[in-house]
Amino acid sequence: MWKPDRNSTRPLYQQIADDLEQRISYGEFPPGSLLPSERKLAEQLGVNRSTVVLAYSELRALGIIESRSGSGTRVSDSKWGATPKHTPNWRRYAEGGNFLPNLPFLRRIREALAHDPSLIDFASGELAGDLAPIQEMNTLMRQTSNTSYFGYDNPQGYGPLRQALVTHLKKYRGIRTTESSILITSGSQQSLYLVTQCLLSPGDAVAIEDPSYCYSLPMFQSAGLRLFRLPVDERGVRPEDIRSLYKKHRIRMIFINPNFQNPTGTVMAQERRSQLLDAASELGLPIVEDDPFSLTAYQCSPPPPLKSVDSIGSVLYIGSLSKIAASGLRVGWMVAPNSVVERLADARQQMDFGLSVVPQSLAAQFLNSSYFTPHLDRLRASLLYKRDLLIDALQKELGGLVHFHVPEGGLHLWCKIVPEVNDSKLLEAAIQNGVIFAPGSVYGSASGYVRFTYARARAEDIPSGISKFAQALHAAIH
Amino acid sequence: MWKPDRNSTRPLYQQIADDLEQRISYGEFPPGSLLPSERKLAEQLGVNRSTVVLAYSELRALGIIESRSGSGTRVSDSKWGATPKHTPNWRRYAEGGNFLPNLPFLRRIREALAHDPSLIDFASGELAGDLAPIQEMNTLMRQTSNTSYFGYDNPQGYGPLRQALVTHLKKYRGIRTTESSILITSGSQQSLYLVTQCLLSPGDAVAIEDPSYCYSLPMFQSAGLRLFRLPVDERGVRPEDIRSLYKKHRIRMIFINPNFQNPTGTVMAQERRSQLLDAASELGLPIVEDDPFSLTAYQCSPPPPLKSVDSIGSVLYIGSLSKIAASGLRVGWMVAPNSVVERLADARQQMDFGLSVVPQSLAAQFLNSSYFTPHLDRLRASLLYKRDLLIDALQKELGGLVHFHVPEGGLHLWCKIVPEVNDSKLLEAAIQNGVIFAPGSVYGSASGYVRFTYARARAEDIPSGISKFAQALHAAIH
């Protein structure tokens, strides 16, 4: 984003006025459209509000913008002369469609991080750059000299990646499958989007863990689904809840993240897994199993997925490289019955015509390479180290004020704040103090929970991040 | 896809039975699900139908599958014993949602090409591998050593690519814009998907060229839009039609491809462009301008886009690298007012969490590189050469039986077949004869038109492809 040049001899407010005039003439802000508030623009540009006030008054004097009290500052309509020309009412168009906007908390987090990259980031659910296999990827990319992979791809995804996944899923996840049962997706996000848009219909009831990252995804509501809760305790969801939800609401699908659940970090207990599969098969209910974290298991071998013991084909399995390699690669997969894979591949063609072959080819090379296992070893050790840094810091700074379960894998720690505190107030206080986290209500829980992602922040920042958080908490409860 | 090994001592039918048994046990075909017909499976595996009949009878004898007359061959339910276990009715789930399947002709084309890659391909609307800048991309990829681009990206797309596009759009398309007005998309397909899903609501009326590639995209119907036609003559659409459609149907948006239109290849006349912009601004109507082909203009400079003379912000501009570099890269863009870009970026996060940074980084490097202009020069010369080969062959083989307008840019030639012929019969006869094309009805026209894409086939195959097509045509009309 453009910022005014503080070393220029031209005053800041005039630079800002020039920039806005240009953006208006380029159609970024059409006639009649709303400009950012003075406060917001000042924040974006890192200047005082009074500088923006001056810039706006300059543009007002030129007749380019108009301010009316109560309705903000808008681009003038009259700029375009007396001819009856109408810019489309883009704002009304932008309110069309069935898509709900992202949650306000998530937009606030994104905005705060964009505005101040120095915030210590316990909010973004992804790996730090130094945990991603960047050197390995660069080496693989330099070795690449594939000459045939730039045309439209198979709708199910790049063949060699699906081949690599057949081997990978067997070796690492105990899942036996074939190329034709695999759909490559733009991460779990697209897998879930395809399932909610193409296999379910508006009004359908589905069961979702409580808490769950699913509540942070407006796609469930955008698809018109009715959501029912499966409470998660320290041994996962209770299978008997499935039966009662089915009886009461005729749920049509179960969404579950049994290994190192996001956000709670829990692993579903073995006997509950068999009971869950039994209940699902008794009721003919499909289970969507999201399994992004298993291979991060710090010290034991990763718990096997439901899919590996699914003898009758009840489970639709979702995996990705986002949490174990790099989120920006956007490579995920789904294992599903033939009819489902074909349907979703066909629908996805209409949405984006499939994934770029470049990251798919890179992912296939990486999975097949000798880099993969050593990378996982390093990743697991680093995550464990960061988790312990976080726990030590929490005990030191907030012992007695927080409760948590120690996760044995994954990227997140789910933390109950003992004193009563308002999510929003705590978040703003933390941002003020230089640290950011994800409030529990984003995941559907009551106020007073926090998800700390320890994978993203630098190790050396974790103790000071928690110390800043502790100050914010003390400020927010007093 | 797996194929039986003809050198094995194990009979083909047993290899096929083994493979199916494995795929059934892996859940690809759950209990109760339908298996491919004997004819279809034989075609997929490249064996005689009788071999598949034997394989199926083997599996029937083992109790693994069941055939009932009139309902095909299914995986047995009884395989799973007496316990009341139910596989989800995946077939019913696959019929859920609002997504219409792709057109039967398009699925037939995809299937035929997958089955027989030796078909001379006048159907796929993309460049041949040797027209894509593959060497250049590989060189750029080998030079890459970016260490910071593997995290979640800005929702509008990778910053350096948006920067590169600001320069590119100004230099090559006369469009002045800023980074914050650009949204990077997975090709024009995703741009159109976002517009139809997020800016329009079910029941809205929109105007679409006739014929148009838009009719090949079920996304318009999937979004519940009502489509009204703007007939295209050799000078493009007629602006007065906009006014009458608006009066009659209150259309809310216009979709237009003014330069080397797909499929007709026409360029909209200059005075019609101003009239179109006038009509749109008079009615406050947004124009979605899709502009994938302009830079292929063979001999003159590319016609400027509507967006370059859009003074009041009526035009939403869509571009991509698919038709001028590589479709498999999946990199496209949209230039739109701020409020629209923000809305679409937010919605896209819910669909796929944005594009992979790898192809975006590669696209930025390519646009900024000294390879770009020489690549375009080479591309234009090759397309012109192939176009002329196609025209010579059509005149030689079918003079008098076909009419067409000679395109001055783009990848396609739109051809009226003079004798009466059935689209479907002609397509099947052509496939039988080793050549494939896109029937005109895919683009919303009446029967008796053909779109020949000359960019995809090898130059040396174009004459023999048309000769095969001519044989097929003669067979189909007699």
**Mean pLDDT value of segment B175-189:** 95
Structure tokens at A207: 């069961």
Asked if pLDDT for residue A160 goes beyond 60, the answer is yes
**Mean pLDDT value of segment A262-272:** 96
Largest Cα separation within chain A, whole Å, is: 76
Q: What is the pLDDT of residues B329-367, one digit of tens each?
A: 999 999 999 889 999 999 999 999 999 999 999 999 999
In this complex, which of A107, A181, A285 lies closest to B26 when CB atoms are compared?
A181
**Mean pLDDT value of segment A11-23:** 90
Predicted local confidence at residue A115, as pLDDT: 86
Predicted local confidence at residue A80, as pLDDT: 52
Read off the DSSP letter of residue A36: P
Q: Element (H or E) spanning B166, and its range?
A: helix B159-173
Q: What is the pLDDT of residues A362-389, one digit of tens each?
A: 999 999 999 999 999 999 999 999 999 9
Q: Are A359 and B352 in contact (CB under 8 A)?
A: no
CB contact under 8 A, B96 and A201: yes
Q: What is the pLDDT of residues B363-411, one digit of tens each?
A: 999 999 999 999 999 999 999 999 999 999 999 999 999 999 999 999 9
Asked if pLDDT for residue B82 goes beyond 70, the answer is no
Structure tokens at B45: 């595996």
Best of A26, A149, A250 to mutate (most B CBs within 10 Å, chain B) = A26
Q: What is the pLDDT of residues A209-262, one digit of tens each?
A: 999 999 888 889 888 999 999 999 999 999 999 999 999 999 999 999 999 999
User: What mean pLDDT value characterizes chain B?
Assistant: 91
Parallel/antiparallel/unpaired status of strands A205-210 and A253-256: parallel
DSSP three-state, residue A107: helix
pLDDT band with cut points at 50, 70 and 90 for residue A148: low
Residues of A within 8 A of B337 (CB-CB) are: 27-30, 33, 90
Which of the pair, B260 or A79, is modelled with greater confidence? B260
Q: Would you state the CATH architecture of domain B104-131+374-477?
A: Alpha-Beta Complex (3.90)
Predicted local confidence at residue B94, as pLDDT: 84
Amino acid identity of residue A36, one-letter, is: P
**Mean pLDDT value of segment B212-237:** 92
Residues of B within 8 A of A141 (CB-CB) are: 141-142, 144, 358
Predicted local confidence at residue B79, as pLDDT: 54
Residues of chain B with pLDDT > 70, as a percent, come to: 97
B147-370 has the same fold as B104-131+374-477: no
Q: Of A256, A325, A284, A293, nearest to A413 (Cα)?
A: A293
- The alpha-helical segments, DSSP class H, found in B26-147 are 38-45, 49-61, 90-94, 104-115, 134-143
How far does the CA of residue B446 sit from the closest CA of chain A (Å)? Answer: 23
**Mean pLDDT value of segment A408-423:** 96
HSE-CB at B96 with a 13 A cutoff on CA atoms is 24
Asked if pLDDT for residue A23 goes beyond 50, the answer is yes
Would you say domain A12-90 falls under CATH 1.10.1200.10? no
Asked if pLDDT for residue B292 goes beyond 70, the answer is yes
DSSP E strands, B175-267: 182-185, 205-210, 226-233, 236-237, 253-256
How far does the CA of residue A149 sit from the closest CA of chain B (Å)? Answer: 7
**Mean pLDDT value of segment A9-32:** 88
Alpha carbons B205 and A285: distance in angstroms, whole number? 39
- Cα angle B93-A189-A194, degrees, rounded to a multiple of 5: 25
DSSP three-state, residue A179: helix
Asked if pLDDT for residue A1 goes beyond 80, the answer is no
End-to-end CA distance of chain B: 37
Alpha carbons A265 and B379: distance in angstroms, whole number? 53
Q: Are A457 and A120 in contact (CB under 8 A)?
A: yes
The partner residues of B335 in beta bridges, in order of sequence, read B182, B317
Structure tokens at B60: 């029937």
Residues of B within 8 A of A26 (CB-CB) are: 176-178, 181
**Mean pLDDT value of segment A39-56:** 91
How far does the CA of residue B476 sit from the closest CA of chain A (Å)? Answer: 30
Exposed/middle/buried for residue A321 (C-beta within 10 Å: 0-12, 13-18, 19+): buried
Asked if pLDDT for residue B83 goes beyond 80, the answer is no
Nearest CA in chain A to B93: A199
Omega cis (within 30) before A263: yes
Q: Are A211 and A309 in contact (CB under 8 A)?
A: no
CB contact under 8 A, B281 and A102: no
Residues of chain A with pLDDT > 90, as a percent, come to: 70
* Long-range CB contacts for residues A16-23, cutoff 8 Å, separation at least 24: A16/A41, A16/A45, A16/A47, A16/A51, A16/A52, A16/A55, A17/A55, A17/A56, A17/A58, A17/A59, A20/A55, A20/A59, A20/A65, A21/A59, A21/A62, A21/A64, A22/B178, A23/B178, A23/B180, A23/B181
CB contact under 8 A, A26 and B93: no
Asked if pLDDT for residue A141 goes beyond 60, the answer is yes
Exposed/middle/buried for residue B299 (C-beta within 10 Å: 0-12, 13-18, 19+): exposed
Q: Would you state the CATH architecture of domain A146-370?
A: 3-Layer(aba) Sandwich (3.40)
Q: What is the pLDDT of residues A73-103, one digit of tens each?
A: 988 876 555 456 777 888 788 887 777 787 8
Q: B351 CB contacts (<8 Å, ≥6 apart)?
A: A189, A190, A193, A219, A351
CATH fold of B147-370 reads: Aspartate Aminotransferase; domain 2 (3.40.640)
Alpha carbons A303 and A317: distance in angstroms, whole number? 15
Predicted ipTM > 0.85? yes
Parallel/antiparallel/unpaired status of strands B315-320 and B287-290: parallel
pLDDT band with cut points at 50, 70 and 90 for residue A149: low
CB contact under 8 A, B189 and A137: no
Alpha carbons B125 and B455: distance in angstroms, whole number? 8
Choosing among 3.40.30.10, 1.10.10.10, 3.30.110.30, 3.10.450.40, the CATH entry for B12-94 is 1.10.10.10
Omega cis (within 30) before B211: yes
**Mean pLDDT value of segment B74-101:** 74
Residues of A within 8 A of B329 (CB-CB) are: 150, 356-358
Q: What is the pLDDT of residues B424-446, one digit of tens each?
A: 999 999 999 999 999 999 999 87
Best of A65, A147, A251, A351 to mutate (most B CBs within 10 Å, chain B) = A351
pLDDT band with cut points at 50, 70 and 90 for residue A454: very high
Nearest CA in chain B to A138: B145
DSSP E strands, A16-168: 65-67, 73-75, 120-122
Predicted local confidence at residue A392, as pLDDT: 98
pLDDT band with cut points at 50, 70 and 90 for residue B265: very high
pLDDT band with cut points at 50, 70 and 90 for residue A24: confident
Asked if pLDDT for residue B130 goes beyond 70, the answer is yes
Q: Which residue has the tokens 């000071």?
A: A464
End-to-end CA distance of chain A: 37
In this complex, which of B328, B331, B339 lies closest to A151 when CB atoms are compared?
B328
Domain residue ranges of chain B, discontinuous segments joined by +: 12-94, 104-131+374-477, 147-370
Asked if pLDDT for residue B68 goes beyond 90, the answer is no
In this complex, which of B97, B124, B311 lies closest to A200 when CB atoms are compared?
B97
How far does the CA of residue A172 sit from the closest CA of chain B (Å)? Answer: 16
Asked if pLDDT for residue A143 goes beyond 60, the answer is yes
Structure tokens at A352: 């984006």
CB contact under 8 A, B312 and A219: no
Nearest CA in chain B to A197: B97
Q: Of B118, B2, B122, nearest to B456 (Cα)?
A: B122
Sign of CA dihedral B272, B277, B283, B289: positive
Alpha carbons B442 and B103: distance in angstroms, whole number? 8
What Cα–Cα distance (Å) separates residue B142 from each residue in A140, A145, A146, B81, B235? 9, 9, 12, 56, 45
CB contact under 8 A, A358 and B356: yes
Q: What is the pLDDT of residues B12-67, one digit of tens each?
A: 999 999 899 888 888 888 888 889 999 989 988 989 999 999 999 888 888 888 88
Q: What is the pLDDT of residues A300-345, one digit of tens each?
A: 888 999 999 998 889 999 999 999 999 999 999 999 998 899 999 9
DSSP E strands, A113-202: 120-122, 182-185
